Each structure stands twice: as structure tokens, then as C-alpha cells.
């Protein structure tokens, strides 16, 4: 999920125009077809200050800040992104009001809770798990098992180096051993 980055949205009553700020910087307002007004936003603080000065100077060049839309989210700056954001918020609100959207929070479960949950799903009191069910339960709650290339289980807390008999390595393992030993062909 993206973090909202809100900046001031400056509007211009003249529509699609360029204006020169007091600092000499040209700012192009782009026409919003829905309202017929120009729109401009920036994350540059100096430009924001210059535009705010134009607003404070009795809407110099027609620049103003609309109280209905004082800021814009940079993550939804295009009209399509803004529409998607509004629609998503509206749908989520409708689902929430209709009771179809429930905040279940975050579920965190440890292996002991998993074992208890599996054990509590047995429907007959006193019934025991079959060997297959017990093996499945153990595999779901156990720590990862490391198996070496010979099929032997390796304890995860210790590291062992497996040496295979000469000639039993694959081509890739042989090449790796030659590189380790400094041998070149």
C-alpha cells in the first residue's frame, strides 16, 4: 500500500494558461474539462510558496485554492487514478455499511496454537489421530527439516559437510569442486 503524499492543489479561473510568478518561473495550469478551470500542483516547496503568495495577493492571475479540494494525493495525480481512488472508497464504504466487509484484524498463530486447533477438530471425544494424520500434523507444526544430497536428515542447528565418493558427482558438482580446489581444465 502506498503512503499518501498530499500537496496543495492550486487552481486558476482562466483554465489552460501559463503565468509568471514573482520569482520569474513560468507555471502552466492544465485545463480540467469537468470544471473548466486550470490545475497545478508541485512538491517543490519554493514554487508552492510563490503560488501561495499569488493566492494571498487577491488571487493574482486568477490563482486560488479551492476549499472543496485544497490538496491532491501525488499517488493519485492523474484523473483516472483519482476516479479509481474515489470509486474504491465508495465501494469499501458500501460494503462496510452493508455488513459485507468485516475487519478481522491480523491473525498470528504459533505452532502450539496450530497443534491445539488441529486437536480440537477431532469430532469424537477420545478419538486419536491416524498415523497419517499425526504425520501431517507434525509436519505442519515442526521446524524445517534439512536433508543433504544423500537423503540423510541434517540437524538444523549444526552444519555438516557431505563428502561424496569420487565419480558420483554430477557435472555441475564436479566443476564446483574443481573451482574450490583451484583446478582448471
DSSP per position, 20-67: E-TTS-EEEEEEETTTTEEEEE-S-HHHHHHHHHHHHTTSGGGEE--T
Average pLDDT over residues 111-140: 69
- The per-residue pLDDT for range 76-123, each reduced to its tens digit, is 667 777 788 888 889 888 888 887 776 666 666 666 666 666 666 655
Is the pLDDT at 156 greater than 70? The verdict is no
Average pLDDT over residues 55-62: 82
**Residues 6 or more apart whose Cβ sits within 8 Å of residue 166:** none
Instruction: Map grid coordinates 497443534 to a residue.
Output: 115
Question: Taking 50 as the threshold, does the pLDDT of residue 56 lie above it?
Answer: yes
pLDDT at 97: 85
Domain boundaries, the chain: 6-75
- Proportion of the chain above pLDDT 70, given as a percent: 61
SS3 call for 28: strand
A 10 A CB-CB count for 132 gives 8
Q: What is the mean pLDDT of residues 52-70?
A: 85
Amino acid at each position: 500500500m502506498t503512503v499518501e503524499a498530499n500537496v496543495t492543489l492550486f487552481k486558476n479561473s482562466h483554465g489552460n494558461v501559463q503565468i509568471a510568478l514573482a520569482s520569474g518561473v513560468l507555471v502552466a495550469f492544465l485545463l480540467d474539462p469537468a470544471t473548466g478551470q486550470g490545475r497545478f500542483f508541485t512538491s517543490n516547496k519554493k514554487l508552492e510558496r510563490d503560488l501561495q503568495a499569488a493566492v494571498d495577493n487577491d488571487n493574482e492571475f486568477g490563482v486560488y485554492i479551492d476549499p472543496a479540494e485544497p490538496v491532491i494525493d501525488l499517488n493519485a495525480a492523474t484523473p483516472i487514478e483519482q476516479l479509481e481512488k474515489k470509486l474504491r472508497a465508495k465501494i469499501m464504504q458500501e460494503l462496510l455499511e452493508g455488513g459485507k466487509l468485516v475487519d478481522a484484524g491480523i491473525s498470528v498463530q504459533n505452532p502450539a496454537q496450530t497443534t491445539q486447533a488441529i486437536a480440537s477438530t477431532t469430532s469424537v471425544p477420545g478419538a486419536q489421530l491416524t498415523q497419517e494424520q499425526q504425520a501431517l500434523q507434525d509436519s505442519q507444526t515442526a521446524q524445517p527439516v534439512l536433508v543433504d544430497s544423500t537423503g540423510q536428515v541434517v540437524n538444523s542447528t549444526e552444519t555438516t559437510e557431505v563428502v561424496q565418493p569420487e565419480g558420483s558427482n554430477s557435472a555441475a558438482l564436479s566443476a564446483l569442486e574443481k573451482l574450490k580446489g583451484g583446478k582448471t581444465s
